[in-house]
Amino acid sequence: MSDQLIECVPNFSEGRDPAIIKQITDEIVSVEGATLLDVDPGKATNRTVVTLVGPPEAVLEAAVRAARKAKELIDMSKHSGEHPRFGAMDVCPLVPVANISMDETVTWAHKLGQRLGDEVGISGYFYEYAATKEERRNLATCRAGEYEALPERLQQPEWKTDFGPGTFDAKYGVTAVGARDFLVAYNVNLNTTSTRRANAIAFDVREKGRQKRAGDELTGPIVKDDHGNPVWIPGSLKCVKGIGWFIEEYGVAQISMNLTNISVTSVHVAFEECKKKAEERGVRVTGSELVGLIPLSAMLDAGKYYLRLQQRSLGVSDDEIIKIAVKSMGLDDLYPFKPEEKIIEYAIAARQSQQKRLVDMTVKGFVHETASESKAPGGGSISSAMGAMGAALGTMVANLSSHKRGWDERWEEFSAWAEKGKACHDELLKLIDNDTDAFNSIMDAFRLPAGSDAERAAKNQAIQDATKNAIMVPFRVMEVSLASMDVAKAMAEIGNPNSVSDAGVGAIAARSAVMGAYLNVRINASGVEDKAWMDDILKRGEAIQDQALALEHEILETVDKKLAEAD
């Protein structure tokens, strides 16, 4: 994606009336370019977390419309719920997703606040990276005392709002608009109904920790320093906020956490630490729950962590890794975990896809589509598919070797090879559609108008750019397919001998992918005006093809030798 994308996660103080929630989310859906990814209502919290993504302009428009509808439908004077809150659209953070910096996101957050004040008459504060005052950076500080404290607080000069009229709106309250890193809202389920026990564990793990008390840690008198300030005992996890609560609809207490920087404290690390602290207090963790969405990388990191504990290969499919993560952390404890709805990359792809991709077809469907009268998919996509199949075979042998009885001490060695193979076949799968897209881009460029000198120049440049891209896609297929042959070679030499023929077939498929892709590089060469660039690509491509042929010969010699020994 070359366009700027931001995520917006508005939280609305209504989680019990589906009709109200739908009217608010319908406003978001009505904005072209804004993609609604997730709607997560909670009855006990009486709060709905909404996630949308899109270009900044579209996201801001959707947020303004949703806030206007929330102001119309939600009455904060009658609101009650387990979650801290002080407004109908309680918080509205913006999160950079693609091709946009945090500084740029802050600018858009300030624009959003300005629009909410000017167009909707909403007052509020900027927090996190968007904060205009350091003391307002922390959301909890902005929201201290919640809705009930607003009449008095808004009269204090130090709490004058950052945008809007700044007067108390009894029906709406105020809103906090922020710019922040990707935050994961994560709850850990306990085998207790005690909020007190859940809070104790939450205080053990959250970065802020707990106030030091003399005697009983929850009820004893607070210990103060020489200046009369409470002494705090920090928790064990950095970048984690948390409290304990009881969820009536599920009949369990939870540790409710916000992981504000998952590169510092990941989901699986938070889960394992909660398990440890719970056990120390005689409580057992039964599972966990994701509120809103999570990046794919976080789920893969979690799955790989648990695979390592099992001494299992990490070179299995993403689907398998995610399944291990879900089962290990009990993410399906309260209700089914649906990756296509909970993992942000999957959710975006599912909602933004304009057409069915080749890689999503059945093998039968792919073959029939290739054989049809359409010009794509063609040889480039087929070469990518052959390369992916070849790389997958090498990966398979590595995974089988990692799990072979008697080779337990070598699991990491083969896991590393499987990961290399997986990286190759994953990229080659993407290149299947990239090749077809590249061909379509050339066709689009030829359809551009050429009525004036300027239009003709623009058209020619577009054709040149598209042609170079149509060359570089199969060239990349060549590079990746050649890299996958290293895995096939290693598996032919040291892998499970019962699968040596599979390593050989993988090498043949990869070599074929290299040769097929090189044909696609060559057929587009005549259309490139930059002859020096094209000559360099052809020279490098020929060298890759020569390497692939030599490597195939070497691998098949090893395979033939081992098959002869087996005979």
pLDDT in tens, 409-463: 999 999 999 999 999 999 999 999 999 899 989 999 999 999 999 999 999 999 9
Does the pLDDT of residue 351 top 80, yes or no?
Answer: no
Does the pLDDT of residue 515 top 70, yes or no?
Answer: yes
- Tell me the residue length of the chain: 567
Nearest-angstrom CA–CA distance, 10 and 28: 11
**336 preceded by a cis bond (ω within 30 of 0):** no
Is the CB of residue 430 less than 8 Å from the CB of residue 483?
A: no
Provide the pLDDT for residue 1.
39
Confidence band, pLDDT 50/70/90 cuts, at residue 345: confident
R_g over Cα of the chain: 29
Does the pLDDT of residue 2 top 50, yes or no?
Answer: no
Which residue of the set 38, 40, 79, 83 is catalytic?
A: 83
Q: 83 catalytic, yes or no?
A: yes
Nearest-angstrom CA–CA distance, 114 and 95: 18
Provide the pLDDT for residue 344.
83
Does the pLDDT of residue 355 top 70, yes or no?
Answer: no
Is the CB of residue 470 less than 8 Å from the CB of residue 439?
A: yes
**CA-based torsion, 153, 123, 294, 264: positive or negative:** negative
Is the CB of residue 439 less than 8 Å from the CB of residue 463?
A: no
Q: 79 catalytic, yes or no?
A: no
Mean per-residue pLDDT, 531-558 = 97
pLDDT digits 0-9 by tens, 175-228: 999 999 888 999 999 999 999 999 999 999 999 999 999 888 777 899 998 888
DSSP 29-49: HTSTT-EEEEEEEETTTTEEE
Mean per-residue pLDDT, 251-256 = 96
Does the pLDDT of residue 56 top 60, yes or no?
Answer: yes
Other Cβ atoms closer than 10 A to 371: 8
pLDDT digits 0-9 by tens, 35-48: 998 899 999 899 99
Mean per-residue pLDDT, 134-148 = 94
311 Cβ neighbours under 8 A, 6+ residues apart: 408, 411, 412
> Directed axis angle between helix 379-402 and helix 363-371, to 10°?
160
Beta pairing, strands 175-179 & 124-128: parallel
* C-alpha angle 346-348-351 in degrees, rounded to nearest 5: 105
Which strand (E) or helix (H) includes residue 418?
Answer: helix 411-446
Prediction pTM value = 0.77
Confidence band, pLDDT 50/70/90 cuts, at residue 353: low
Instruction: Record the tokens describing residue 507, joined without a space.
Output: 């090498």
174 Cβ neighbours under 8 A, 6+ residues apart: 86, 87, 122, 123, 124, 125, 150, 154, 161, 164
Mean pLDDT estimate for the chain: 94
- Please, what are the domains in the chain? 5-179 (3.30.990.10), 184-347 (3.30.70.670), 355-566 (1.20.120.680)
Does the pLDDT of residue 479 top 50, yes or no?
Answer: yes
Burial of 234 (0-12, 13-18, 19+ CB in 10 A): exposed
Residues paired with residue 294 on neighbouring β-strands, in sequence order: 343
- Most distant CA pair in the chain, distance: 90
28 Cβ neighbours under 8 A, 6+ residues apart: 34, 36, 50, 52, 62, 65, 66
pLDDT digits 0-9 by tens, 225-240: 888 899 999 999 999 9
Mean per-residue pLDDT, 139-161 = 95
Q: What is the 3-state secondary structure (H, E, C) of 432-483?
A: HHHHHHHHHHHHHHHCCCCCCHHHHHHHHHHHHHHHHHHHHHHHHHHHHHHH
Mean per-residue pLDDT, 257-271 = 94
Percent of the chain whose pLDDT exceeds 90: 85
Quick one: the chain helix, strand, coil %, rounded to 5? 55, 15, 30
Instruction: Record the tokens describing residue 453, joined without a space.
Output: 């000198």
Provide the pLDDT for residue 337.
96
Provide the pLDDT for residue 98.
76
DSSP 254-281: EEEEEES-TTTS-HHHHHHHHHHHHHHT
Is the CB of residue 520 less than 8 Å from the CB of residue 537?
A: no
Nearest-angstrom CA–CA distance, 48 and 44: 11
Does the pLDDT of residue 49 top 60, yes or no?
Answer: yes
Chain center to CA of 233: 33
Which residue of the set 38, 90, 435, 502 is catalytic?
A: 435
State the virtual CA torsion across 529, 531, 532, 535 in degrees, nearest 10.
Answer: 130
**CA-based torsion, 61, 63, 69, 72: positive or negative:** negative
Does the pLDDT of residue 50 top 50, yes or no?
Answer: yes
